[in-house]
């Protein structure tokens, strides 16, 4: 059996022709993981036994009714899956076994998807390199010396290595798009609220969003169509109904974000790749202009104040009482403090401290409130730009994948790698990263496309057509079979 | 400025026990980060309403219908310590006579 084009459509078409069975595909998936994952470390947990059992209930006559019939999926390990460990790559949840399943995961299962494992991440999704996992660091399949990006680095690398055709991630400040960019795959962060966050371990509730990874835009679109929609278990979920759009790319107007084009710190090759995309769009007859969003330059401080404040509140639930690690102290307060002191890793502690400080009496107005006001100005900048343009484009990340250890000692330089993705979360917009080329080291470069809120279908339609024109076919040497 | 005293105070608020070397590195990191964040003071935010959420959400009500909940034993299955139908924690209220 040979699987060259590891896409959902091609897998389903092989199933229908009788050339492939879900069991054969699972054999292929687990064989690939066993051969290569010791080098890449995408997975924390494999759900092999479950997966083989789950395919038994697939009925071939339902293949056209279930969009993800027999499609193996990897789940980021901050999403609950009943009966299987959900660690968030943290010691504090090392042995936590949820008694329920996240809505997004359940919807994938209901659509016929087969969960094959849980993937590594930066602890509690806090990081941009997957080096903050309490267990191990994931490697980039394109170059094992380099990081896969973060925090959904396990999911991005699992798709890049062709272990699985589809994976889920969560994106608070770029945690789907940035690793997709580093790993040369497609990563989609939908509009805030379109996918329920029930069962996602919360990091920053006004920013968190679940989304899919795939090798092609059509695959993430299919996964999104399944996962999205109102959920009674998440009061912030939106009654969004997915309908696919089929509008010619030539009809769209595109703005290039000046602040993420002319700014310092962007690699010349990353900018050249963007220039190439602009040239392509213009030759297709699209109107492309440079447009300015003047408050975008404040996104980083705004994000880190808002996200850490929300995190300090959300992570208060980890106190060693109802679940997770407990380290006994002489009284309840000391038990809380010891549990949290020993259970959380250094980046999580740094963020809890920053957030607690920003919310504490005397500093609230100067930090959290100020940041929330500047957030309004950033949202307004986007609204203004979208009056003129259908989409905004920019590089997904200022650089290609960096080497392990390069940024671990300097939190600020690590934070800067999310500079182009963070503004999108502050405004709750849909954003997708697609591969736009490679640098001279052969590492993939990502292009980010940002759309109006709830215009997810248009973003996917545009990205799909642009993907065909760019025709990125490179893939890492390592992985798959 | 962020000094040791502030770090220890915030750590106490956050219920986070820190080792001496962690206090030192947090003092340095938070100092640097907050210093960089001072750029926000350049922005005029007079008469600007804060954004706490990407889209306006109001109170969300639902009918007060009793639904089945998770079984107690399942809820307790992840507890570090439990008894009967309770989570067990160290004593919070002191006993009389100072015991």
pLDDT digits (tens, 9 = 90+) for B5-46: 999 999 999 999 999 999 999 999 999 999 999 999 999 999
Q: How far is B76 from chain A (nearest CA, A)?
A: 7
Q: Do residue A193 and residue B49 have CB atoms under 8 angstroms apart?
A: no
Q: Confidence class of residue B1 from pLDDT cuts 50, 70 and 90?
A: confident
Q: Confidence class of residue B93 from pLDDT cuts 50, 70 and 90?
A: confident
Query: Is residue B57 scored above 90 in pLDDT?
Result: no
pLDDT of A1: 45
**Do residues A195 and A207 touch, judged by C-beta distance below 8 A?**
no
Nearest to A298 among B29, B32, B39 (CB): B39
CA dihedral B24, B11, B51, A150 (to 10 degrees): 60
- Which residues neighbour A68 within 8 Å (Cβ) at sequence distance 6 or greater? A8, A108, A111, A112, A113, A166, A222, A223, A226
Cα–Cα distances in angstroms (integers) from residue A195 to residues A212, A243, B59, in the given order: 11, 15, 20
Whether A119 and A223 map to the same domain: the answer is yes
Whether A320 and A197 map to the same domain: the answer is no
Whether A153 and A247 map to the same domain: the answer is yes
* Final residue belonging to a domain, choices A350, A372, A394: A372
Q: Do residue B14 and residue A342 have CB atoms under 8 angstroms apart?
A: no
Count of domains observed in chain B = 1
pLDDT of B91: 84
Q: How far is A161 from chain B (nearest CA, A)?
A: 34
Which stretches of A317-458 are assigned E, i.e. beta strand?
391-395, 431-438, 444-451
- Whether residue A269 is contained in a domain is answered as no
* Final residue belonging to a domain, choices A349, A372, A395: A372
Domain with A304, as residue range(s), is: 297-372
- Chain B positions in Cβ-Cβ contact with residue A375 (cut-off 8 Å): 50-51
- Whether residue B15 is contained in a domain is answered as yes
Q: Confidence class of residue A478 from pLDDT cuts 50, 70 and 90?
A: confident
Annotate A327-364 with DSSP letters as a single string. ---SSHHHHHHHHHHHHS-HHHHHHHHHHHHHHSTTTT
Residue A199, Cβ neighbours under 10 Å: how many? 23
Domain with B12, as residue range(s), is: 4-41
User: What is the rounded distance in angstroms from the CA atom of residue A285 to the CA atom of residue A254?
Assistant: 11
Q: How far is B79 from chain A (nearest CA, A)?
A: 4
Whether A124 and A200 map to the same domain: the answer is yes
Nearest to B17 among A96, A295, A341 (CB): A341
**Do residues A154 and A130 touch, judged by C-beta distance below 8 A?**
yes
Whether A241 and A320 map to the same domain: the answer is no
Q: Confidence class of residue B51 from pLDDT cuts 50, 70 and 90?
A: very high
Q: How many beta-carbon contacts under 8 Å exist across A and B?
A: 158
pLDDT of B90: 86
Whether A150 and A224 map to the same domain: the answer is yes
Q: Do residue A324 and residue B52 have CB atoms under 8 angstroms apart?
A: no
Count of domains observed in chain A = 2
- Chain A positions in Cβ-Cβ contact with residue B79 (cut-off 8 Å): 321-323
Query: Is residue B97 scored above 70 in pLDDT?
Result: no
Q: Do residue B78 and residue A97 have CB atoms under 8 angstroms apart?
A: yes
Q: Confidence class of residue A269 from pLDDT cuts 50, 70 and 90?
A: very high
- Catalytic-labelled residue, pool A12, A76, A118, A218: A76
Query: Is residue A479 scored above 80 in pLDDT?
Result: no
- Whether residue A149 is contained in a domain is answered as yes
* Final residue belonging to a domain, choices A328, A354, A372: A372
Q: Do residue A301 and residue B36 have CB atoms under 8 angstroms apart?
A: yes
pLDDT of B94: 75
- Whether residue A284 is contained in a domain is answered as no
User: What is the rounded distance in angstroms from the CA atom of residue A440 to the CA atom of residue A313?
Assistant: 44
What share of chain A in percent tops pLDDT 90?
95
- A362, A373, A456: best to mutate for the B interface, most B CBs within 10 A: A373
Q: How far is A124 from chain B (nearest CA, A)?
A: 16
**Do residues A199 and A78 touch, judged by C-beta distance below 8 A?**
no
Closest CA to A424 of A225, A153, A192: A192
- Which residues neighbour A478 within 8 Å (Cβ) at sequence distance 6 or greater? A36, A39, A40, A141, A144, A161
Is A151 a residue of the active site?
Answer: yes
- Chain B positions in Cβ-Cβ contact with residue A341 (cut-off 8 Å): 16-19
- Whether residue A408 is contained in a domain is answered as no
- Whether residue B88 is contained in a domain is answered as no
- Whether residue A421 is contained in a domain is answered as no
Q: Do residue A321 and residue B33 have CB atoms under 8 angstroms apart?
A: no
Closest CA to A315 of A269, A261, A359, A352: A352
pLDDT of B98: 53
Q: Summarize pLDDT for B13-24 with one digit per residue, the tens.
A: 999 999 999 999
- Whether residue A49 is contained in a domain is answered as yes
φ, ψ for residue A47, nearest 5 deg: -110, 50
Provide, for chain A, the percentages of residues in helix, strand and coil under a 3-state DSSP scheme, each rounded to the nearest 5: 45, 15, 40
Is A76 a residue of the active site?
Answer: yes
- Whether residue B85 is contained in a domain is answered as no
Mean pLDDT, range A322-328, rounded to an integer: 96
Q: Summarize pLDDT for A289-316 with one digit per residue, the tens.
A: 999 999 999 999 999 999 999 999 999 9
pLDDT of A481: 55
- What rounded mean pLDDT belongs to chain A? 96
User: What is the rounded distance in angstroms from the CA atom of residue A212 to the CA atom of residue A175?
Assistant: 11
Q: Read off the DSSP letter of residue A367.
A: I
Could you tell me the two tokens for A181?
């960019």
- Whether residue B8 is contained in a domain is answered as yes
Q: Summarize pLDDT for A379-412 with one digit per residue, the tens.
A: 999 999 999 999 999 999 999 999 999 999 998 8
- The CA radius of gyration of chain A, in Å to the nearest whole number, is 21
- A357, A364, A365, A367: best to mutate for the B interface, most B CBs within 10 A: A357
What share of chain A in percent tops pLDDT 70?
99
Among chain A residues, CA nearest to B31: A354
Could you tell me the two tokens for A404?
């392990």
Q: Do residue A411 and residue B29 have CB atoms under 8 angstroms apart?
A: yes
Q: Do residue B55 and residue A354 have CB atoms under 8 angstroms apart?
A: no
Q: How far is A104 from chain B (nearest CA, A)?
A: 19
Query: Is residue A444 scored above 50 in pLDDT?
Result: yes
pLDDT of B95: 72
Tokens 């809890």 correspond to what residue? A352
Whether A243 and A304 map to the same domain: the answer is no
- Whether residue A352 is contained in a domain is answered as yes
Nearest to B17 among A96, A337, A350 (CB): A337
- Catalytic-labelled residue, pool A133, A139, A151, A237: A151
Cα–Cα distances in angstroms (integers) from residue A212 to residues A27, A58, A155, A405, in the given order: 23, 22, 9, 27
Q: Do residue B16 and residue A369 have CB atoms under 8 angstroms apart?
A: no
Mean pLDDT, range A80-98, rounded to an integer: 98
Closest CA to A155 of A183, A194, A195: A183
A276 class by beta-carbon count within 10 Å (0-12 exposed, 13-18 middle, 19+ buried): middle
pLDDT of A307: 98
Question: Residue B27 belongs to a domain with what CATH number?
Answer: 1.10.20
pLDDT of A3: 66
Whether A125 and A244 map to the same domain: the answer is yes
Annotate B27-94 with DSSP letters as a single string. HHHHHHHHHHHGGGGGS--TTPPP-SSSS----------------HHHHGGG-SSEETTEE-----SP
Could you tell me the two tokens for A384?
């203004």
Whether A54 and A199 map to the same domain: the answer is yes
Among chain A residues, CA nearest to B19: A341
- Whether residue A270 is contained in a domain is answered as no
Q: Do residue A349 and residue B74 have CB atoms under 8 angstroms apart?
A: no
- Catalytic-labelled residue, pool A42, A129, A139, A175: A175
Q: Confidence class of residue A253 from pLDDT cuts 50, 70 and 90?
A: very high
Q: What is the ipTM of this complex?
A: 0.93
Residue B75, Cβ neighbours under 10 Å: how many? 16
Largest CA distance in chain A: 71
Mean pLDDT, range A94-123, rounded to an integer: 98
- Chain B positions in Cβ-Cβ contact with residue A298 (cut-off 8 Å): 39-40, 43
Q: How far is B28 from chain A (nearest CA, A)?
A: 11
pTM strictly above 0.95: yes
């Amino acid at each position: 059996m040979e699987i060259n084009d590891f896409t959902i459509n091609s897998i389903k078409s092989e199933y229908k022709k009788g050339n492939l069975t879900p069991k054969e595909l699972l054999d292929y998936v687990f064989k690939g993981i066993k051969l290569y994952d010791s080098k890449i470390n995408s997975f924390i947990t494999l759900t092999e036994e479950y997966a083989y059992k789950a395919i038994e209930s697939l009925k071939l006559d339902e293949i056209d009714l279930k969009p993800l019939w027999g499609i193996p999926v990897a789940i980021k390990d901050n999403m609950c899956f009943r009966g299987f460990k959900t660690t968030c790559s943290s010691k504090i949840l090392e042995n936590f076994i949820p008694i329920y399943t996240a809505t997004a995961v359940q919807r994938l299962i209901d659509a016929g998807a087969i969960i094959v494992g849980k993937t590594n991440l930066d602890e509690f999704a806090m990081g941009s390199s997957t080096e903050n996992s309490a267990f191990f660091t994931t490697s980039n399949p394109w170059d094992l010396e380099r990081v896969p990006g973060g925090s959904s680095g396990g999911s991005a690398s699992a798709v890049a290595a062709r272990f699985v055709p589809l994976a889920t991630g969560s994106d608070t400040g770029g945690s789907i798009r940035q690793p997709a960019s580093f790993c040369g795959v497609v990563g989609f962060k939908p509009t805030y609220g379109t996918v329920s966050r029930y069962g996602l371990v919360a990091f920053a509730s006004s920013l968190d969003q679940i989304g899919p990874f795939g090798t092609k835009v059509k695959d993430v679109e299919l996964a999104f169509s399944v996962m999205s929609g109102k959920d009674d278990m998440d009061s912030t979920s939106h009654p969004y109904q997915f309908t696919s759009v089929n509008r010619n790319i030539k009809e769209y107007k595109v703005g290039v974000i000046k602040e993420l084009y002319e700014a310092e710190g962007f690699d010349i090759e990353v900018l050249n790749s963007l220039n190439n995309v602009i040239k392509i769009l213009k030759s297709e007859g699209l109107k492309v202009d440079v447009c300015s969003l003047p408050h975008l330059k404040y996104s980083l401080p705004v994000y880190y104040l808002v996200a850490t404040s929300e995190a300090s509140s959300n992570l208060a639930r980890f106190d060693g009482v109802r679940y997770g690690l407990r380290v006994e102290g002489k009284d309840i307060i000391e038990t809380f403090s010891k549990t949290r002191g020993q259970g959380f890793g250094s980046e999580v502690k740094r963020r809890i401290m920053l957030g607690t400080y920003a919310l504490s009496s005397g500093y609230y107005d100067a930090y959290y409130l100020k940041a929330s006001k500047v957030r309004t100005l950033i949202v307004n900048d986007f609204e203004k730009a979208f009056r003129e343009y259908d989409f905004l484009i920019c590089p997904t990340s200022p650089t290609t994948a960096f080497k392990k250890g390069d940024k671990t000692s300097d939190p600020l330089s690590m934070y800067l790698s999310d500079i182009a993705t963070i503004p999108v979360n502050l405004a709750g917009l849909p954003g997708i990263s697609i591969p736009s080329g490679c640098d001279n080291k052969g590492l993939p470069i990502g292009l980010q496309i940002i759309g109006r809120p709830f215009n997810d279908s248009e973003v996917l339609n545009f990205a799909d057509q642009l993907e065909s024109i760019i025709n990125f076919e490179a893939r890492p040497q390592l992985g798959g079979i | 400025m962020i000094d040791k005293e502030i770090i220890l105070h915030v750590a106490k608020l956050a219920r986070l026990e820190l080792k001496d070397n962690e206090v030192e590195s947090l003092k340095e990191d938070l100092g640097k980060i907050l210093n960089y964040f001072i750029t926000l003071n350049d922005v005029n935010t007079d008469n600007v309403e804060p954004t706490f959420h990407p889209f306006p959400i109001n109170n969300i009500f639902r009918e007060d219908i009793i639904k089945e909940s998770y079984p107690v034993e399942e809820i307790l299955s992840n507890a570090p310590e439990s008894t009967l139908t309770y989570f067990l924690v160290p004593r919070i209220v002191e006993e009389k006579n100072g015991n």
